[in-house]
Amino acid sequence: MLRFAPSPTGDMHIGNLRAAIFNFLMAKKLHQKFIIRIEDTDLERNIDNKDKDILDLLKAFRLSYDDLIYQSDNFPLHRELAHKLIKEGKAFYCYCSKEFLESKREEARIQKKAFRYKDEWAELEKGDRQTSNIIRLHANKAVRFKDEIKGEISFSAGEIDSFVIMRNDVPTYNFACSIDDKEMSYIIRGEDHISNTPKQILIKEALGFGANVKYAHLPIILNDENKKMSKRDAASSVKWLISQGLEPQAIANYLIIMGNSSVERACGELFDYNSVIDAFDVANISSNPAHFDYKKMLQINRDLLRKKPIESFYYLLDSINLNGAKEADFKDLITLYLGESNSVAELKTHLENTFNSIESKREMCEFKDEFDKILGILKTDSKNFESYEDFKNHLSTSLNLKGKNLFKPLRILLSGQPHGIEIDKLYNALKDKMQLIINHHK
């Protein structure tokens, strides 16, 4: 079984999404179950409805799962197992006061040593108490494990001290996670969790859980400045990427090939999950940090859009008053703008600008007199010219306009934009819609 284990403490970022996709793909590859576990044990940091947001995104990315678990539902089990470990002498109550531990920390600071908890401190301040609200696991053991991406990773005994597994009857993150991971065969997550892994391995060992689980810790993702992508990089937010009109499939495909050239060689850049399962293996991912390339993601999106049937974009015309014209009449125009668009959002903007009101078009044009003259001609002489050459000659001879005095207002009149596609192409796609354009008021 594999799992994606998001915390409902913030918005999903591309690192989380990448972990979700990889767990999903590996579950399919290994013919195992894929579950979602909402890690809501940090009661103070949980944000209302973040779990719903995450589940909605998983749906948008078509990451279907076999089961959904809320970690806090397992609290009774976590408590029971903590007490079992105490009975077996593998865990113990720690009666140290905050002040005592702080004085030990201060001592370590003065001696310039890393602070390590010593088991012999546990009962120094016990008095006649029978229990404490802190339970620790006896640790102090070297741990090594094989990471499928990074190779052998080891921690010496001195690096891990007897750490807290229960505080005030609530399991710590590592304790809850290890127990809930009992059935997992493969754990795929960001490399920021590497430091948790030895603790989780020790907890599982103490509980007698099977040891043949594989780990893959995904390298960090770097931005343009070679710094770790963070909240400050808008593109790290999955919601932001979607708000830019990127298709989930394009985002997913990019994340799948990022740092994984073997998949790109085998499947190219456009594929669906099923067709990539054979070529994909999380173990083949480069162990170097991945460089996030937004332009490449956009290009994949663009290529993906071009492969879709034009009819699938007709809905974008819904917000435009077509005065009874048929959607199919806009096929050429949509095709033309599609060539200029990285995303559906951009395509929509091109269409909306084109059918913007005459008043707003005039407003944005620096050559207002010329704009009015061209408009006047179009209104009185609504004859459709077959070729752009004829149309242009007609305008320039009857109005005595040429160069930018002609082209700038004309482009704005036609497209509602000061720059863009060559006017002849624009004209050809719009010539039978001239009345719609010149009579278009808001």
Report the half-sphere exposure of 152 (CA within 13 A, side-chain side): 3
User: What SS3 state is found at 100?
Assistant: helix
Verify binding: residue 199, ligand GLU, rule CB under 6 A: no
Q: Determine the interface stretch with ligand GLU among 4-12, 91-99, 126-134, 361-369 (rule: CB under 6 A).
A: 4-12
- Choose which of 25, 81, 96, 177 interacts with ligand GLU (CB under 6 A): 177
Q: Least distance (Å) from ligand GLU to the CB of residue 189?
A: 3
Please identify which residue in the block is written with the tokens 């290994």.
30
Verify binding: residue 21, ligand GLU, rule CB under 6 A: no
Q: Least distance (Å) from ligand GLU to the CB of residue 250?
A: 24
Q: Determine the interface stretch with ligand GLU among 1-9, 294-302, 337-345, 363-371 (rule: CB under 6 A).
A: 1-9
Length of the chain: 442
| Distance between first and last Cα of the chain | 57
Q: Least distance (Å) from ligand GLU to the CB of residue 177?
A: 5
Torsion-angle region of residue 366: left (phi > 0), alpha (psi -120 to 50) or beta?
A: alpha
- Choose which of 39, 40, 148, 247 interacts with ligand GLU (CB under 6 A): 39
User: Which C-beta is closer to ligand GLU: that of 6 or that of 219?
Assistant: 6
Verify binding: residue 171, ligand GLU, rule CB under 6 A: no
User: What SS3 state is found at 285?
Assistant: coil
Q: How far apart are CA 213 and CA 209, in angstroms?
A: 10
User: Which C-beta is closer to ligand GLU: that of 236 or that of 341?
Assistant: 236
Q: How far apart are CA 218 and CA 237, in angstroms?
A: 18
Verify binding: residue 182, ligand GLU, rule CB under 6 A: no
Q: Are the CB atoms for 337 and 314 separated by under 8 Å?
A: no
Verify binding: residue 166, ligand GLU, rule CB under 6 A: no
Verify binding: residue 370, ligand GLU, rule CB under 6 A: no
Concatenating the DSSP letter of every residue in 11-80 gives --BHHHHHHHHHHHHHHHHTT--EEEEE----TTT--TTHHHHHHHHHHHTT---SEEEEGGGGHHHHHH
Verify binding: residue 221, ligand GLU, rule CB under 6 A: no
User: Which C-beta is closer to ligand GLU: that of 35 or that of 316?
Assistant: 35
- Choose which of 2, 7, 202, 341 interacts with ligand GLU (CB under 6 A): 7
Q: Least distance (Å) from ligand GLU to the CB of residue 38?
A: 9
User: Which C-beta is closer to ligand GLU: that of 28 or that of 193?
Assistant: 193
Q: How far apart are CA 418 and CA 408, in angstroms?
A: 7
User: Which C-beta is closer to ligand GLU: that of 21 or that of 298?
Assistant: 21
Q: Are the CB atoms for 421 and 415 separated by under 8 Å?
A: yes
Q: Least distance (Å) from ligand GLU to the CB of residue 307?
A: 34
Non-local CB neighbours of 254 within 8 Å, separated by 6+ positions: 269, 293, 296, 297, 300
The residues of the shown chain that bind ligand GLU, judged by CB under 6 A, are 5-7, 39, 177, 189, 193
